[in-house]
Amino acid sequence: MIETEETLFDCLAPAKLNLFLHVISRRDDRYHELQTVFQLLDWGDVLHFRRRDDGEVRYLQPLDGIPERTELSVQAAKLLQHHSGCHYGVEIYIDKRLPIGAGIGGGSSDAATTLLALNRLWRLYLPRTILQALALKLGADVPFFIFGRNAFAQGIGEQLQPVHLPARTFLVVKPAVHILTSEIFSSETLTRDTKRIKIMDFLAQQNIANSNATLTGSWPDNFGQNDMQEVVVKKYVEVARVLDWLSAIRPARITGSGSAVFAAFSSRSEAIQAKLLSGWESIVVSSLDYHPLYTFAS
C-alpha cells in the first residue's frame, strides 16, 4: 500500500473463514444468535481510493448486476460522511478478486476497509468502537473486519473477543455456485438450537492441539461444526461434491453460509499438491493475524 496526503492505493480487503459456526437461536427481530471464530486470510479484494474535495462519492467500474446504490463500499463511504459531517468525497475502485456468494466476507470486508481507509484519508481519526458501531448498520460481519483481529464472535457477530490462532495454510475451493445468505438463514431445516459454548471451550481445544504434535492439522478443523452446512449441501449438489472430495484428504467444511469449502494444511507444499488435484477453482492462502489497515483506527 502506498499512502500520500491525497491518495491511498492498494488497500487489501481480506477474506475470512468461519472455523466453526453455531446457530444458537432465532431472535424476535429475525436475526440469529451465533457463535463463531473468524479467521482472517492474506487474500482479498484490492480497493483503491482517491480523495475528492467536492464531497462526491463516486464508484468507478461497478460490477455487472450490482447497482451502485447497493454496493457496500459506497454505502460505507456515505454513512461515514453523514456521521462525521465530512466535506470530503472519494473515488472508489475495487479490483474484485473474491468470489461472490462464497461465504468469505467479500462485500463486508470491502465496506470495513472503506471505513478504515476513509477514516485516515478524510482525517477523521474516529476510534475503532465508533467505526464498529457504524459497521453494524451495514451488515453483521462488517464489525469483525473493523475489529481487525481474529476473533471469537457472539450475538449476530458483533460481540468480539480477540483470539490467537496458529499460523496456518488453507486450501479454499470454490464451486461455480452463488449462494444468498438470506436463502440459508430462512431455511426451515436450519438447526437453530446448538448448545452455547464458552470461549474457554475453544481455547482449551487449541491448547490440547498445540501440546500434542500428533494433532497437527486436526485443529481447529474438528472443533464444533458449521450449522449451515447441512442446508447448503442439500440444496447445492456441487458444494456437496467438493466437500466430499476435500474431506477425503483433510477435515473440511464450508465457511459462513456460502459455497466455498476449506481445509487447513500443515504446510504450503501439501496444500498446493491438493490444489493440483482439484478440478474446481481453488486457491492456497495463508492465515493473517491483523487486518492490513488495523492501525487506521485506535
Is 106 labelled as part of a ligand binding site? Answer: yes
Is 108 labelled as part of a ligand binding site? Answer: yes
Is 109 labelled as part of a ligand binding site? Answer: yes
Residue 220: strand, helix, or coil = coil
User: Catalytic residue at 195?
Assistant: no
Catalytic residue among 45, 110, 141, 221: 141
Give me the sign of the Cα torsion angle 78, 80, 83, 88: negative
The three cell numbers locating residue 28: 424476535
Q: How far apart are CA 265 and CA 269, in angstroms?
A: 9
User: Catalytic residue at 16?
Assistant: yes
Is 254 labelled as part of a ligand binding site? Answer: no
Is 89 labelled as part of a ligand binding site? Answer: no
Is 85 labelled as part of a ligand binding site? Answer: no
3-state percent breakdown (helix, strand, coil) of the chain, nearest 5: 35, 30, 40
Is 199 labelled as part of a ligand binding site? Answer: no
Is 102 labelled as part of a ligand binding site? Answer: yes
Catalytic residue among 16, 45, 110, 221: 16
Q: Which long-range contacts (CB under 8 A, 24 or more apart) does 60-68 make?
A: 60/91, 60/92, 60/93, 61/93, 61/94, 63/94, 63/96
List strand residue ranges (DSSP E) for the chain, in order.
2-3, 7-26, 32-52, 57-60, 89-95, 151-154, 159-162, 169-174, 252-254, 261-265, 281-288
- Residues in contact with 74: Cβ distance below 8 Å, sequence separation at least 6, in sequence order: 57, 59, 68, 92
Q: How far apart are CA 115 and CA 76, in angstroms?
A: 6
- Closest-CA residue to 174 (of 263, 284, 282, 98): 282
- The number of angstroms, rounded, from the C-alpha of 175 to the middle of its chain's C-alpha atoms is 18
- Closest-CA residue to 174 (of 252, 231, 248, 109): 252
Is 283 labelled as part of a ligand binding site? Answer: no
Is 267 labelled as part of a ligand binding site? Answer: no
- The number of angstroms, rounded, from the C-alpha of 16 to the middle of its chain's C-alpha atoms is 3
Is 224 labelled as part of a ligand binding site? Answer: no
Annotated binding site for ATP: 99-109
Q: Which residues are marked as active site?
A: 16, 141
Annotated binding site: 99-109
